[in-house]
Structure 1
């Protein structure tokens, strides 16, 4: 009996550790340049959050009820996404499960990026780019309307230690962490990686149409 109980305890412990590891892995994501976040998202909107409630979202493989937080939003502008207005976004109920916490008083405007599910609902996680609108730079805001889309065929590679180099002409090195020890540095705030006429990519600063203001590919 004791051996059986110990075996059950070990099994439960393994299952518990597996679930913890699964949750940790689910929240594991690499920092992304705002342009990457834009290009990789199904939906990119500017919105206010006006309500919050916890809802059921079916059952997991163990038969447990899956909870989600539903944020009611007022969409101000859609930069990328479906033709219909998004009036709600869904997220996990805690940060440990990649859930996002947002202010619901309807006063703060957010840039929200996320995924569109098959049922037409928008889901967001801590891995998505969600920023207060007022905290974004002019270049970032303008990038949402045109500039970022022009660079979606380019690849942005994060450089965190030397040596690092590009492996393709259609690639830009993102050196914010290397130089500033922050992923919200100059390149994230003021630059976009744009595809040029010869199909190569280079950093471009500003929000007006590119002329000759590209950075040299090796210049951070």
Structure 2
């Protein structure tokens, strides 16, 4: 009897650890430069969150009920996405499930990137780039309409330790973590990776339109 109970406990423990590992793995993601987040997202909007409710989202493969948080939003501007306005975004019920926690008073504006599902709903996770609008730099805000999209043909390679290696001329080396120990460092705040006339890519800094050929670092 005791042996049977112990075996059941061990089985439950293994199942629990497996599910925890599965959740952690599902939420695992590398930090992205704002340009990368823009290029890889289906939707990029500026919005306020004005309401929140927990909703049912069907069942998982084990038959368990899936819960989601539905944030009701007021869209201020769409930088990338469908022709219709987004009036709600969905996320996991907790950070363990990649859920995002947002201010729901309607007083804070956010830049929100996310994925568009087949039913037209927008879903966001901790892996998406979500930033208070007031915390963004002038360059980041300007790049949402004039820079990031033109640089989507370039690849940004994150460097965390030396030596840093790129595989081709169409890559820009992102060194914020290596130099500043910050994900949101100078390159994330002030630089965009753009193509030059020879199809190679380089970092560009500035709000004015770049010259036909430009240096890797150019002040505004």
Find the aligned partners of 1:167 and 1:54 in 2 and give their Cα distance.
Answer: 45
1:30 paired with 2:42, answer: no
Q: What is the CA-CA distance between 1:27 and the residue it aligns to?
A: 1.5
Find the aligned partners of 2:196 and 2:7 in 1 and give their Cα distance.
Answer: 63
- Tell me, what secondary structure is at the counterpart of 2:192? strand
Matches within 5 A, 1:183-202: 183-202=183-202
**1:101-136 superposed Cα distances (whole Å, 9 cap, x missing partner):** 111111111000000011110000111000000110
Q: What is the CA-CA distance between 1:9 and the residue it aligns to?
A: 2.2
**1:130-168 superposed Cα distances (whole Å, 9 cap, x missing partner):** 000011011100111020011111110011111113210
Find the aligned partners of 1:135 and 1:72 in 2 and give their Cα distance.
Answer: 22
Q: What is the CA-CA distance between 1:213 and the residue it aligns to?
A: 4.3
1:78 paired with 2:99, answer: no
Ranges in structure 2 where 5+ consecutive residues have no aligned partner? none
- Tell me, what secondary structure is at the counterpart of 2:209? coil
**1:55-75 superposed Cα distances (whole Å, 9 cap, x missing partner):** 000111222111100000000
Matches within 5 A, 1:113-152: 113-152=113-152
- Residue 47 of structure 2 is matched in structure 1 by 47
Distance 1:131 1:106, change over 3 A: same
Answer whether contact 1:205 1:213 (CA < 8 A) is retained.
no
Answer whether contact 1:44 1:113 (CA < 8 A) is retained.
yes
Q: What is the CA-CA distance between 1:179 and the residue it aligns to?
A: 0.9
- Residue 159 of structure 1 is matched in structure 2 by 159
- Residue 107 of structure 2 is matched in structure 1 by 107
Find the aligned partners of 1:127 and 1:72 in 2 and give their Cα distance.
Answer: 20
Ranges in structure 1 where 5+ consecutive residues have no aligned partner? none
- Residue 210 of structure 1 is matched in structure 2 by 210
**1:51-101 superposed Cα distances (whole Å, 9 cap, x missing partner):** 000000011122211110000000010000011100000001111111101
Q: What is the CA-CA distance between 1:172 and the residue it aligns to?
A: 0.3
- Tell me, what secondary structure is at the counterpart of 1:46? strand
Find the aligned partners of 1:146 and 1:193 in 2 and give their Cα distance.
Answer: 12
TM-score, length-scaled by structure 1: 0.95
Find the aligned partners of 2:14 and 2:118 in 1 and give their Cα distance.
Answer: 33
Distance 1:213 1:199, change over 3 A: closer
**Pairwise CA RMSD of aligned residues?**
1.2
1:58 paired with 2:58, answer: yes
Answer whether contact 1:53 1:69 (CA < 8 A) is retained.
yes
The alignment of Structure 1 onto Structure 2 pairs a total of residues equal to: 216
Answer whether contact 2:196 2:214 (CA < 8 A) is retained.
no
